[in-house]
């Protein structure tokens, strides 16, 4: 409990610190942007004063190089695009725009509209006349406006990587936990199994009804199969060539004999000899999970159909029921760990079946079709040998 509390505190502390750092960086960027914008306006105001001085000096003064400073100021204002407009709104000149496009009056009008939307004009008054300098932000200032967005994008990607890292770690820890529990369960089942085998031998010596002993042996064999299944979780299972029809029929018959008599079981196949590479214990677990899921969906009353057939180089296994069905949006959700519609369910059966079929047997398992109050059909596709 203490470890959990410390972990939760660390996560919250990290989030708060990250939020503070991001806020400071964004505020610093905004402040720098505003200062840079003011600096550009000050530069354009000086530019306006230079134009004003040039408009008011005489030709003799120009010849005497009195106005060298204004000319230097104007010549060095090369990074800020601007347009000079008279009092009547006529464009008198432009600078630092596209040298080819600025010959087009429509282009100048569009640029002027942009400049009017970005900054207030600078007045240039001389000899009773008034001109206006409209300017837009420099390319550098434009790029700075996208900096916060780029920073946020990088931050989001960084947080996503951290989230995926923690999620994968958590999933790995969960898998290790379940693997450990499964192997421990298999180990615990082994002890009573050995004892049961001894009792069966005693019953045979005592000449107890062989029918009873045969049924007990079936259940003991069943427990042994379950123990083997749990022991294989977390390790790569060995796949061997087997008759899929025969193996599936064994599990089907076992569950039929131990299910409600109000359920009609039907088994069919297009070929009695369809060979695939499977692990007996794990694949039997998949069939068992699907059949039990169908029985639960029918609440112990209805029709359950299992059909196996060849499909090109694949073996197709369909398990259908006449249960309550499900909406299409749940077709993928039901295979997620922890998802269940049952009051007493852990949501592991179908997710485990999917892992066994797709990860261990290189096959596919999915909901082929389902209708509310009409039933569901699951399909398994395996490679034929």
| 354 within a domain of the structure (yes/no) | yes
Buried b / exposed e across 70-107, counting CB within 10 Å, b at 16+?
beebbeebeebbbbbbeeeeebeebbbeeeeebeeeee
- Same domain for 189 and 242, yes or no, is no
Distance CA 54, CA 35 (A): 29
pLDDT at 9 over 80: no
CATH code (residue 319): 3.30.565.10
How many structural domains is the chain composed of? 3
Which tens digits make up the pLDDT trace of 209-239? 888 888 888 888 778 777 777 776 666 778 9
pLDDT of res. 1: 44
Give the torsion sign (CA, 245, 249, 252, 255). negative
* Of 190-204, 239-253, 275-289, the least confident: 190-204
pLDDT of res. 76: 64
CA-based end-to-end distance of the chain: 52
- Same domain for 301 and 319, yes or no, is yes
Q: Which of 114, 137, 160 is the last residue of a domain?
A: 137
- Same domain for 62 and 96, yes or no, is yes
Domain range for 323 is 238-383
- Same domain for 340 and 375, yes or no, is yes
């Amino acid at each position: 409990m203490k470890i959990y509390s410390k972990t939760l505190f660390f996560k919250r502390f990290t989030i708060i610190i990250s939020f503070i750092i991001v806020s400071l960086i964004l505020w610093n960027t905004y402040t720098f942007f505003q200062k840079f914008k003011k600096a550009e306006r000050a530069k354009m105001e000086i530019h306006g004063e230079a134009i004003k001085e040039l408009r008011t000096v005489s030709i003799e003064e120009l010849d005497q190089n009195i106005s060298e400073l204004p000319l230097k100021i104007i010549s060095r204002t090369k990074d800020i695009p601007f347009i000079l407009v008279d009092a009547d709104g006529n464009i008198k000149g432009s600078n630092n725009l596209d040298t080819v496009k600025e010959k087009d009056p429509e282009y100048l009008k569009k640029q002027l509209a942009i400049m009017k939307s970005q900054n207030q004009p600078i007045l240039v008054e001389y000899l009773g006349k008034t001109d206006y300098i409209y300017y837009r932000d420099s390319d550098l200032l434009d790029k700075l406006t996208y900096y916060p967005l780029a920073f946020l994008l990088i931050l989001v990607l960084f947080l996503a990587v951290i989230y995926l890292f923690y999620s994968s770690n958590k999933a790995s820890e969960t898998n290790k936990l379940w693997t450990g529990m499964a192997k421990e369960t298999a180990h615990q089942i082994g002890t009573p199994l050995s004892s049961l085998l001894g009792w069966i031998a005693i019953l045979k010596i005592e000449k107890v009804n062989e029918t009873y002993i045969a049924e007990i042996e079936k259940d003991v064999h069943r427990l042994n199969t379950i123990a083997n299944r749990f022991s294989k979780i977390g390790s790569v299972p060995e796949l061997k060539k087997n008759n899929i029809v025969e193996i599936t029929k064994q599990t089907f018959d076992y569950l039929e004999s131990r299910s409600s008599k109000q359920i009609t079981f039907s088994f069919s196949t297009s070929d009695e000899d369809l060979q695939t590479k499977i692990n007996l214990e794990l694949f039997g677990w998949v069939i068992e999970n699907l059949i039990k899921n169908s029985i639960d969906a029918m609440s112990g009353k209805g029709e359950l159909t299992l059909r196996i057939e060849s499909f090109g180089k694949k073996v197709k296994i369909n398990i259908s029921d006449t249960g309550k069905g499900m909406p299409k949006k749940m077709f993928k959700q039901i295979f997620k760990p922890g998802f269940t519609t049952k009051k007493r369910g852990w949501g592991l059966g179908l997710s485990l079946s999917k892992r066994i079929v797709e990860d261990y047997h290189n096959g596919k398992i999915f909901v082929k079709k389902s209708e509310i109050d009409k039933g569901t059909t699951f399909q398994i596709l395996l490679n034929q040998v």
